[in-house]
Structure 1
Amino acid sequence: MDTLQVVILALIQGLTEFLPISSSAHLILPSQLLGWPDQGLSFDVAVNTGSLLAVIIYFRVELYNMAKAWSLSIIKRESDDESKLAWWIILATLPAVFFGFLAKDFVETYLRSAEVIAFTTIAFGLLLWWADKTSRLELTEYQSGWRKSLLIGFAQALALIPGTSRSGITMTAALMLGLQREAAARFSFLMSVPVSLGAAILVGKDLAESPEPLDMHALVLGTSISFVAAYACIHYFLKIISKMGMTPFVIYRLLLGAGLVVFIALHN
């Protein structure tokens, strides 16, 4: 890849990872629509690491408090809101881990296409709009409970399908279960930490066994840009979500999906 492609793909990853519009879809589309070469496994790991570092640093206080409370809940059997939230985040991670192991190869072989992305972008965009407009929006993330957390976790597993959006489907499920918009977003962002860590470890293992040459300039630049873009995205998204709602992101998804349908029709 040349420098321009590195910058664009890193920005795409950073800006779309935590918005409900699907980062995986946007990373697949340049090769599908522009004929760019596949960015490769090492670059995917790099830009995902940048996004992961952004959410860890942004929520460093919350994550520290949760980790401390979770440890005490095991060692001293002490339970509070932070420890409960930590356990719920862990519980919500399990479905994605389970289905990720089962479906990873199938998804990468058969579902990474513009047709699939067009369908999921529109369908799950409409579901997000419905959830945002009809839900009670009453609960905080500390009131989610283990049942709601597990349901959100099963929703997260659907994000294995390109175009679904991990952030989008988890926020949709959280809204449908009564969480406030900000609470749904925070829960979704916190859920991304164990999932992204696990994915980085698995993909990193594949990378270590791959003969693919490493372009350190592209990797360092991509990681840095993805980190800055993702950090800014998290910060401003949490500030505006209560005022804007999900409608702007739904409109974007519908336009993107419609554009993909037109593109597919013209090239078939």
Structure 2
Amino acid sequence: MPLLQLILVALIQGITEFLPVSSSGHLILLPGLTGYADQGQVIDVAVHVGTLAAVVIYFWQDVRIGLIGLVRLARGRADTPGARLALGLIVATIPTVLFGAFLHFTHLSDALRTPAVIGWTMLIFGIVLYVADQKGDTQKQASDWGLRDALIMGLWQMIALIPGTSRSGITITGARQLGYNREDGARIAMLMSIPTIIASGLLLGTEVALEANMALLRDAALAALLALFSALAALSLMMRLLRSVSFTPYVIYRVLLGLALLCYAYGA
């Protein structure tokens, strides 16, 4: 794979995975804009591993508490904050896993990878994010997250399997609609990404395990590393900005890109 393509894929995935602008939508558009062939599932898995590592590193204290809680949960006890966090993440992931498996095995996911679909989802869910961010209350904090909110945000997250929606964007939308402040809503959304990325990686990884050769594995390792550093930078920047800036800049970008894609798709 050309080095420039590898760098572009890793940077796009790393930067857009945690910003509410849709990493999948940008990656689908990349071949059409550059003339490169599709990067393939091995590289897709690699850059997802990189972004997974980034969110684990950035939120390590929360991840550590959740892992300890997961051990306690396995013993049938959900009486600590860590155990409740682990249970909430499991509940929030179930709708996405079920819907993702349905789309994957029916091949409907391939039919949704079009500029028109991405244009509409960019536009519609950008506006939905704006409304939720402007109208949502801010009385809830991450410590208030329970099973009901986990399930609701999990259903929001499920929609992100439609390209252009943005997993982080739609879960942040759900969090703001439920009344979480911007920073804690984004924090919950990022933690929800961990089991979701793991589930996606396992599904794709089992299919590509026999496909990789040494050259491809070297490309994958480089892509994962680049995605890790770019994701850490994007995640750190967004979380800092949320202390003083709303999601409106991301909404403006989504609306403009969505309109441009719809003009292209419909020949305007």
Structure-2-length-normalised TM-score? 0.94
Instruction: Kindly indicate whether residue 172 of structure 2 is the aligned counterpart of residue 171 of structure 1.
Output: yes
- List alignment gaps of at least 5 residues for structure 2: none
The residue that corresponds to 2:203 in the other structure is 202
Q: Secondary structure in 1 aligned to 2:153?
A: helix
The answer to whether structure 1 residue 238 and structure 2 residue 246 are counterparts is no
**How far off is 1:52 after superposition?**
0.6
Distance 1:141 1:107 in 2: 35
Native 8 Å contact 1:85 1:141 kept in 2: no
Structure 2 residue aligned with 1:110: 111
Name the structure 1 match of 2:7: 7
Cα gap change, 1:211 to 1:54, in 2 (>3 Å)? closer
**CA 1:83 to 1:228, structure 2 compared with 1: closer, same or farther past 3 Å?**
same
**Cα deviation digits, residues 234-261 of structure 1 (max 9, x gap):** 1121111131110000001011112212
Change (3 A) 1:152 1:76: closer
Structure 1 unaligned runs (5+)? none
Q: Which amino acid counterpart does residue 69 of structure 2 have in structure 1?
A: A
**Quick one: distance in 2 between partners of 1:157 and 1:76?**
27
Asked whether the equivalents of residues 144 and 179 of structure 1 are also in contact (C-alpha less than 8 Å), the reply is no
Alignment of 1:264 onto 2:265? yes
Q: Distance in 1 between matches of 2:187 and 2:239?
A: 8
After TM superposition, the structure 1 = structure 2 runs for residues 48-63 of structure 1, keeping only pairs within 5 Å, are: 48-63=48-63
1:1-268 maps to which residues of 2 (within 5 A)? 1-75=1-75, 77=77, 79-104=79-104, 105-210=106-211, 214-266=215-267
Q: CA RMSD in A?
A: 1.8
Mapped to 2, the partners of 1:22 and 1:77 lie a distance apart of 36
Residue type at the aligned position of 1:181? R
Aligned partners of 1:69, 1:244: CA distance in 2, in Å? Answer: 33
* 1:19 match: secondary structure: coil
Aligned equivalents of 1:52 and 1:73: distance in 2?
23
Q: Secondary structure at the match of 1:29?
A: helix
Question: Deviation at 1:209?
Answer: 4.2
Q: Contact conserved, 1:32 with 1:114, CA < 8 A, in 2?
A: no
Instruction: Report how many residues are paired.
Output: 267
